[in-house]
Amino acid sequence: MVEVDLEAGEIDWEFTPGVLTKAWGFNGQIPGPVIEARVGDVLELRLTNHLPEPTVLHWHGLRLPAAMDGTDMVQRGIKPGDTFTYRFTLRDAGTFWYHPHMNETVQLERGLYGALIVRGPDEPTLDGERVLVLDDVKLDRKGQIKKLGGLIEGHDGRQGGARLVNGKAEPALFMAAGQIERWRIVNASSARYVRLSIGGRPFTILGTDGGLIDAPVPVTEVLLTPADRVDIAVGPFTEGETIAVDALKYNRMTVARARNESFATVRVGPPAPSRAVIPTTLRSIEPLVSGPVSPTREVHLGFKPSLRHGVTFVVNKEPHHRDTPVKVGELQVWDVINDTMMDHPFHLHGFFFQVVEVNGEPPAFRSWEDTINVPPKGRVRIAWVADDRPGEWMYHCHILEHHEQGMMGHFAVVR
Ligand SMILES: [Cu+2]
């Protein structure tokens, strides 16, 4: 059993050196503490709310009972001063995260989020591991969190100028020469897409949302939408090198123009021996779908005119769409169709899916995901099977402003 006490409350936090910002954190820090456990452990987490408003805690990516999913569908908000205990078994290895699922555009922007690491029996051996939680925050001239809102923010989602790694703006990361590290990366941004580059150097994808992928994939960049996770093997580098960890320009068709931006710098120190071994097979992932298949439903991500926002974001033409039930054990093949001219990260609660096709093409590798980018006017086919966890579940765009406006669907899983 892993027991954790979390207290959500107001804190003064130094996002940028020398400036104290009024923010919200778990246990006085941003991000909240990294929760570490092993597959099969029971997590018992007592959350005490010292915020001036109610909150609930969602366990992003975890296969848990519906009642523990931490949304306003399955639980009442935890009132200021109250404590709620979340208790569930950690069934899968991977890099997950926790964040409020209430007034998210405020609660996440102010700093309420943290990583949850679950280790399996067969993890690859690397020389070190770091958890890097990426975020951005929009500060005013006094270094305080800027008031939320406005038409552009409602459309683009909120993107801030201060780019944070583990709650600090553009930090230096110190690494020994000659070593290969495992970086577990979480994108906790409200809306920012991070097209991650490590000085243009090659690195290796080991895992995504739902843990290890089937085989390591060498790349020079990887796209993390809001809520995405990726595990990568980084290095080896040479003593004295300075390497930029950047988000390369990614045009997700926003009003604001995309550009290259820095998140951190790697400074390479004296060499240390390496014992890193990355096996050629990481895990066996059986495909849920082989050959031609027709979708069992379509989920249309769209927009509608709105007086308040200019446009408002919806699913199947309605905000907070009520979708049809999903039967336990029945193969789901969903076509998630983007009817808009901008990208949307689609997130399914409580269950992993496989990506079958993106715009008709199979994905580059086999993986389990809970969040996938749906390109403008694009179509992503996913496959998944609900295991026996009936209850109320949901899916939504993970650009928090779009989610808030109603780009989401509720559905029941039934026996
Ligand atoms: Cu969206």
| Ligand 1 centroid from CA 347, angstroms | 10
| Ligand 1 centroid from CA 343, angstroms | 7
- CA 358 to chain CA centroid, nearest Å: 19
What pLDDT shows up at residue 256?
84
**Start-to-end Cα distance in the chain:** 30
- Contact in structure between 374 and 344 (CB atoms under 8 Å): yes
Q: Is the pLDDT of residue 162 over 80?
A: yes
Q: What single-letter amino acid sits at 78?
A: I
- Contact in structure between 409 and 315 (CB atoms under 8 Å): yes
Q: Is the pLDDT of residue 188 over 90?
A: yes
Mean pLDDT estimate for the chain: 97
Q: Summarize pLDDT for 68-103 with one digit per residue, the tens.
A: 999 988 999 999 999 999 999 999 999 999 999 999
Provide CB contacts within 8 A for 372, sequence distance 6+.
225, 336, 345, 346, 353, 355, 358, 380, 382
| Ligand 1 centroid from CA 356, angstroms | 21
| Ligand 1 centroid from CA 16, angstroms | 29
Least Cα distance to 358 among 226, 349, 350, 367 occurs for 367
**Cα–Cα distance, 4 to 101 (Å, whole number):** 19
- Residues 143-154 have a mean pLDDT of 92
**Cα–Cα distance, 43 to 67 (Å, whole number):** 15
Residues with CB under 5 A from ligand 1 (ion): 344, 397, 399, 402
What pLDDT shows up at residue 82?
98
Confidence of residue 324 (pLDDT cuts 50, 70, 90): very high
DSSP β-ladder status, 42-49 and 83-89? antiparallel
Q: Is the pLDDT of residue 393 over 80?
A: yes
| Ligand 1 centroid from CA 405, angstroms | 10
What is the number of alpha carbons within 13 Å of residue 125 lying toward its C-beta? Answer: 4
**Within 88-193, where are the H helices?**
104-107, 151-156
**Least confidently predicted of 149-153, 281-285, 308-312:** 308-312
- Residues 187-203 have a mean pLDDT of 98
Q: Summarize pLDDT for 16-60 with one digit per residue, the tens.
A: 999 999 999 999 999 999 999 999 999 999 999 999 999 999 999
Q: Is the pLDDT of residue 3 over 80?
A: yes
Q: Is the pLDDT of residue 309 over 70?
A: no
**Cα–Cα distance, 272 to 340 (Å, whole number):** 50
**Cα–Cα distance, 174 to 261 (Å, whole number):** 20
Q: What single-letter amino acid sits at 133?
A: V
| Ligand 1 centroid from CA 72, angstroms | 20
